[in-house]
Amino acid sequence: MRRSLFYAFMPMLILLAITSSACVFSYLIALSFDDPTILRKLMIRLSQIMLLLSIFPVSKWLGLNKEMLGYAPFKAMFKQFWHGFGLSLLILLPVFFALNFLGIHSIDATKVWTLGWIAKKIGIAFGLAVLIGIVEESVFRGLLLASLRKYLSPFLAILISSIYYAGLHFLDSKSPVSEETLSWNGSFQLLGEAYHNVFAMQDWTAFLALCSVGLFLGMLRLRDDMNLAVCIGCHTGWVTLIRISKSTMHVDLTTPYSFLVSHYDGVIGLLVAGWLLFVLIISIFITHKNAV
């Protein structure tokens, strides 16, 4: 039990070290530019960059090679990516159909619908989604899951990595920064507020949905040795669909079924959580039946 707790909280210590370092560097950069408004975004971006860069020293420290992290040769990863992307459409499109059927989503008639506008939205959404998929999957289903898997059972490794994955989506502060509040103390107060927002669990339905996403992707990752690109493709597809939805759909949170989505992005929530867990249980049942 103590061993499991130790390895469960070790990523938190590393995260604290990374975000604290990002807080210091962000303050110095904002101070040098004499622009307090960039502090918050700098803290977020530097934390993300440092998390990604931490893959290399932590992997070397733990003795993890690229195969253990899930990276296959480029050609194989390219194929895996599109397999994962196709899987994401099969899984999430029924959710969007349900949201439209229930009246939660409806086409935004205020937009000027042209072929060029649609192509631009899809291109931007896909490009950003690829970057997000590569970064988040490399960190969570790559480094974190492989590290935890080395010391814990597959179930605990997937569960813990999913909790971290969900929690980091809420690691943010909304407080404005002015010239009066731009200081060492003010910077770390922002960081403290960001961590408070994680543990306050103000949007538990979104947290539950993101945990379900993490569980699904974690199970998908451990199906084969070098299939991280499948998770990247799946993650990319989901983010692409959600970003396109945010650009083209109106979300009505006054309907009787609005409890099925959260205020986080108008998509994830109880419906996504329930649907993903259902798909996950069915896939586990089929895999177990075929193995027997």
The answer to whether the CB of 100 falls within 8 A of the CB of 106 is yes
Count how many domains the chain has.
1
Token pair 């409806």: residue: 106
- pLDDT tier, 159 (very low <50, low <70, confident <90, very high otherwise): very high
User: Which distant-in-sequence residues (6+ apart) come within 8 Å of 27 by Cβ?
Assistant: 39, 182, 183, 184, 187
Using the predicted structure, report yes or no on whether residue 291 has a pLDDT greater than 70. Answer: no
The answer to whether the CB of 85 falls within 8 A of the CB of 237 is yes
* DSSP bridge pairs for 87: none
Higher local confidence (pLDDT), 265 or 240: 240
Q: Per-residue pLDDT tens for 96-140?
A: 999 999 999 999 888 888 899 889 999 999 999 999 999 999 999
Identify which of 230, 68, 233 has the alpha carbon closest to the alpha carbon of residue 144.
Answer: 68
What is the chain's mean pLDDT, rounded? 91
Q: Give the C-alpha distances (Å, rounded to integers) separating 118 from 65, 177, 228, 233, 247.
A: 41, 36, 30, 22, 9
Using the predicted structure, report yes or no on whether residue 292 has a pLDDT greater than 70. Answer: no
User: Which distant-in-sequence residues (6+ apart) come within 8 Å of 62 by Cβ?
Assistant: 147, 150
Identify which of 214, 221, 229, 54 has the alpha carbon closest to the alpha carbon of residue 149.
Answer: 221
Predicted pLDDT of residue 200: 86
Predicted pLDDT of residue 287: 74
Most confident of 53-67, 81-95, 166-180: 81-95
Average pLDDT of 17-26?
92
Q: Per-residue pLDDT tens for 199-247?
A: 888 889 999 999 999 999 999 999 888 999 999 999 999 999 999 999 8
**Residue 39 tokens, joined:** 């502090």
Is the pTM higher than 0.85? The answer reads: yes
In the chain, the N- to C-terminal Cα span, in Å, equals: 32
Q: Which domain holds residue 268?
A: 2-291
